[in-house]
Structure 1
Amino acid sequence: MNVSEKIRTLRKSKGMSQEELAGQVNISRQAVSRWENGTALPDADNIVQLSKLFGVTTDYLLMDSYESDEDSPKIKENNKILHANLTRLAIIFQAAFLNACIYPWGDSNTIVLEMIMKLFPLLACSIWMASNHRYEKDLKQRAKNTKIESLYCLIQTVVFVLGYNLHIGLWSTLLIIINTSVYIFLVNPKYMNRKLTR
């Protein structure tokens, strides 16, 4: 797609008329029409305004090599948000399964089944959490995230062991919730480059 087709497609995707787009960037409707027909090109200032208005990069507007929506930098940015949310889900599920393990186990007849039901989901979510580090492209940040997450898991393990051995399930549950909340809402965005929003 060339710049004319991209402007037309982006405008229509926003449900805007040519007049509305012209008003947003302080130009005439005829100028927008010329852009979309390919008889004129927006200047550098207009390209910057359009990129902000449509939420895409200037590279996307100018480079013909971005042929489809899948190539759009905007969509790639959304994937970062999706990855961060999937990471948070893994953390929440891991905390929930850890909490289930704190409470008393059954008798010797059901211990194997209970171990499978309690420990397998906990192990699966822990592996899921660890595998989410692959989304971080910066190797220094990835190493930092691994250390922080290891410390978080160590704290959760201490809470689990204390809760299980001292039979203080309710207090342990509360500590797991607090630790998980601090990790997701404070540590992740501030220290691990996992933003809660765009």
Structure 2
Amino acid sequence: MDIGKKIKTLRLAKPLTQNELAGILGVSKSTMSNYERNISTPDPDTIIKLASYFNVSVDYLFNDGMDKPKDLIKEGNSYNTGKALDKDEWNAIYYYRRLSDEQRDYIKGQMIQLYQKSSSSNKS
């Protein structure tokens, strides 16, 4: 599925009109129409706004092999706040993805330890 179809699918799932989504993104309705028809591609700032608003990864928007949104935080999990990622969270993901597998494992272990420590202190 191309980026235009993905944008349209995400928009209709909300449900939003082209005009409403255009307002959210700060573009004109005709620009939004051009995105959905693959006449033009959103600039990087708009791509980030789209991914954040629809709570999908930027990779999902561009990767043809992904039929379903691959959310970083999946619905139904206890840690899902229902909020879009903020700038610090995006930066953390940006740097995390550039680490080696060994470094990622270390970071995950540290995060789990911090979470467990905070969970146990909150129960006390």
1:77 aligns with 2:68: no
Q: What SS class does the counterpart of residue 73 from structure 1 fall into?
A: coil
Query: Which stretches of structure 1, 4 residues or longer, exceed 4 Å deviation after superposition?
Result: none
Structure whose CA Rg is larger? 1
Q: Distance in 2 between matches of 1:31 and 1:16?
A: 15
Measured in 2, the distance between the counterparts of 1:18 and 1:25 equals 11
TM-score (norm 2): 0.63
Name the CA distance, whole Å, in 1 between partners of 2:7 and 2:121: 36
The Cα of 1:78 is off from its aligned counterpart by 1.2
CA apart distance, 1:36 = 0.6
Match of 2:119 in 1: 186
Q: 1:73 and 1:188 mapped to 2: Cα distance? A: 33
Give the structure with the higher percent helix: 1
Q: How many residues align?
A: 96
1:187 positional shift = 2.7
Distance 1:62 1:45 in 2: 14
Give the aligned residue type for 1:141.
G
Q: Find the residue that maps to 2:27 and give its secondary structure.
A: coil
Alignment of 1:107-118 (within 5 A): none
- Identical-residue share of aligned pairs (%): 30
Pairwise CA distance, 1:55: 0.7
Using the size of structure 1 for normalisation, the TM-score is: 0.41
The 1:77–1:22 alpha-carbon spacing in structure 2 relative to 1, beyond 3 Å, is same
Q: What 5-or-longer segments of structure 1 have no aligned partner? A: 85-136, 146-182, 190-198
Shift of 1:64: 1.4
SS at match of 1:40: coil
